[in-house]
Chain A
Amino acid sequence: MIRLEALSKVYGTPKGTVKAVDSVSLEVREGETCVLLGPSGCGKTTTLRMINRLVAPTSGKIFLAGRDTDAVDPVELRRGIGYVIQQIGLFPNMTVAENIGVVPRLLGWDSARRRRRAEELLALLALPPGEFADRYPNELSGGQAQRVGVARALAVDPPVLLMDEPFAALDPINREAVQDEFLRMQEKLRKTILFVSHDIDEAVKMADRIAIFHSGRLVQFAAPDELLARPADAFVASFVGRDRTLKRLRLIRVAEVMTNDGAASIDKKAPAVSPDDDLRRVAALFLEHGAAALRCIDGEGRVIGVVTRDAVAARLAIEDSP
């Protein structure tokens, strides 16, 4: 869906040339969320901004749905790509509904249709339209403003979203809530998303695949679990952190490590988990209760399997995890 081929950006400075992005190639599949991750100045934002041509590439190609973006007028190109930035950039002179209607208006939708669409999107993002449509941005909290920013990017239902650290300015509690909501929405909408972040936890939570950047180069492009299990080099290992095994726990569901062996003989007082829980809960119960095995129960409380320490260890040890 999005394909970058040997994409580079070189800036000339008084001290010589700087390669902000150095021959990056990657492909993001349709409906996938790809997080570009790295420390500041690693080239991730520049890469993102080359896709909607806010930055002109020095060399290399970008294909959107198979089409070379060089051949498209930049203004037309941008109207077809949702764009969300950290500072949100809502226009304070326009109401919430007018902000969401910006791109529809550029495309010539009439006002009734713009209004309908704005209300639809507000409802999708859990902001009651009756209460929010006619507010001005200065009457919104940070979390509400960022939801409106996302709604605005979705206004004309673009297949691709570019998000530049969209949740970085929110406080931790709000950030979690907006991230969860965004994941639920993405499950329904299945947009192709390129998401810039400097936060490994956010990347692990949001991404189908993570692209790690270092000094303008793409150093590893992998699914979160693989990235955490097998960092490609010392930089990636230090960036994901020494607690990377703990981070993997959230990615693995109980259903993946559950076995049926011993389901009949397990202690009825052993702590219970559900197949949809992730391994963070399992690890917590192991540590809290010192248990060797946990019961796995379904919605009606029936035991459907057990989770043993050995099974968890074996899963975490898998080197060739998908």
Chain B
Amino acid sequence: MSTAAAANRSQLPYWVLLGIALALAWGLYASGLSDDILRYRKDIVYLTKQHLVLVAISGSAAIVIGVAIGIWLSRPWMQRWADATIQVVNMATSIPTLGKLALMMTFLGIGALPAIVGLWIATLLPIIRNTYEGIRAVPVHMLDAARGMGMGPSTILGRVELPNALFVIFAGARTAMAVNVGTAPIAFLIGGGGLGELIFTGIDLQQYGMMLAGAIPTALIAVAVDFLFGQAQYWLVPRGVNPLRHN
């Protein structure tokens, strides 16, 4: 009962989105724009692959390294530096992603590498912050109980701290990936390729079919990635600490 209700809650937006998507598709077909878009079929396939590579590499590297840095900052011996580090992270987060990409281009030139590094940094920061805050939010008495029962530091991290912080960590990763996917098109501006090529060229040439040939797959990727992370958050976070699964 409770599970079904929660599942409905998390699926409802996707049904709404599907409805809107169908309406838009019909609109495109009726207006004849769909032919314009489908003319770029080959480009769409090629650039989507490129786009996905950008997102996958920068995103997965950000999750792995961001979680690791977040854990590291939460260790007792880092306590003195952690707050200052998080302040720096917060400041870095406020730099617009376009600015980060431009900075990367200054250091690394043009191409896929500076684009991936720029996206990686943009994605990394919310993950570090949420991992750190999530672990810090585990109540002291719970850690006291764990220690008092004879758990060592690594067992406490693996069986108590991480599972209890997991929901917040996932929330961070989900937000970060939304930023990542949303920003990936501007990688084109520093020669990183991806679907931005169709979008920006389409805008410049006032070719709406071309622009949409880039924009629609970008939107679909964003929805798909968010759906994937939403499902992972729902199923992978233990039921006892998963607000989505409480009755």
Known: A91-B159, A92-B241, A106-B155. A78 touches B139 (CB 8 A): no
- Total chain B interface residues with beta-carbon distance under 8 A: 23
| Complex-state Cα separation, A89 to B145, whole angstroms | 6
The answer to whether A136 touches B150 (Cβ under 8 A) is no
The answer to whether B141 touches A85 (Cβ under 8 A) is yes
Known: A87-B139, A89-B141. A103 touches B150 (CB 8 A): yes
Any chain B CB within 8 A of the CB of A307?
Answer: no
| Complex-state Cα separation, A295 to B101, whole angstroms | 94
Closest to B242 in A: A93
Chain A 114-148 interface residues, beta-carbon cutoff 8 Å to B: 136-138
The answer to whether A85 touches B148 (Cβ under 8 A) is yes
Contacts of B166 in A (CB 8 A): 93
Question: C-beta contact mask, A85-98 vs B, less than 8 Å → 1, else 0?
Answer: 11111111111000
Question: C-beta contact mask, B123-150 vs A, less than 8 Å → 1, else 0?
Answer: 0000000000000000101101111111
Any chain B CB within 8 A of the CB of A102?
Answer: yes
Any chain A CB within 8 A of the CB of B151?
Answer: yes
Any chain B CB within 8 A of the CB of A167?
Answer: no
Closest to B160 in A: A91
The answer to whether B139 touches A76 (Cβ under 8 A) is no
| Complex-state Cα separation, A94 to B159, whole angstroms | 9
Chain B 89-105 interface residues, beta-carbon cutoff 8 Å to A: none
Any chain A CB within 8 A of the CB of B183?
Answer: no
Question: C-beta contact mask, B148-167 vs A, less than 8 Å → 1, else 0?
Answer: 11111001000110011010
| Complex-state Cα separation, A279 to B147, whole angstroms | 43
Q: Is the interface of B mostly helix, strand, loop or mixed?
A: helix
Closest to B167 in A: A93
Known: A87-B139, A89-B141, A91-B142. A136 touches B239 (CB 8 A): yes
The answer to whether B163 touches A83 (Cβ under 8 A) is no
Question: C-beta contact mask, B213-240 vs A, less than 8 Å → 1, else 0?
Answer: 0000000000000000000000000111
Q: How far is the CB of A276 from chain B (nearest CB, A)?
A: 37
Contacts of A76 in B (CB 8 A): 150
Interface contact tally, CB-CB below 8 A: 74
Q: How far is the CB of A302 from chain B (nearest CB, A)?
A: 52
Known: A91-B160, A91-B164. A85 touches B145 (CB 8 A): yes
Any chain B CB within 8 A of the CB of A79?
Answer: yes
Interface centre among A79, A85, A93, A137 (most CB of B within 10 A): A93
- Total chain A interface residues with beta-carbon distance under 8 A: 28
Known: A76-B150, A79-B149, A79-B150. A89 touches B240 (CB 8 A): no
Q: How far is the CB of A95 from chain B (nearest CB, A)?
A: 7
| Complex-state Cα separation, A92 to B242, whole angstroms | 10
Known: A85-B144, A87-B141, A137-B240. A92 touches B150 (CB 8 A): no
Q: How far is the CB of B221 from chain A (nearest CB, A)?
A: 32
Contacts of A138 in B (CB 8 A): 240, 246
Complex A-B: 13 CB contacts under 8 Å? A54-B144, A78-B148, A80-B150, A83-B148, A85-B144, A89-B141, A91-B163, A92-B240, A92-B241, A93-B241, A103-B149, A136-B239, A162-B148
Beyond known contacts A54-B147, A92-B240, A93-B240: 8 more, CB 8 A cutoff:
A85-B148, A86-B141, A87-B142, A87-B145, A89-B144, A91-B160, A106-B151, A136-B239
The 10 tightest CB contacts between A and B, nearest first, are A89-B145, A136-B240, A79-B150, A78-B150, A93-B163, A87-B141, A83-B148, A93-B238, A92-B240, A93-B241
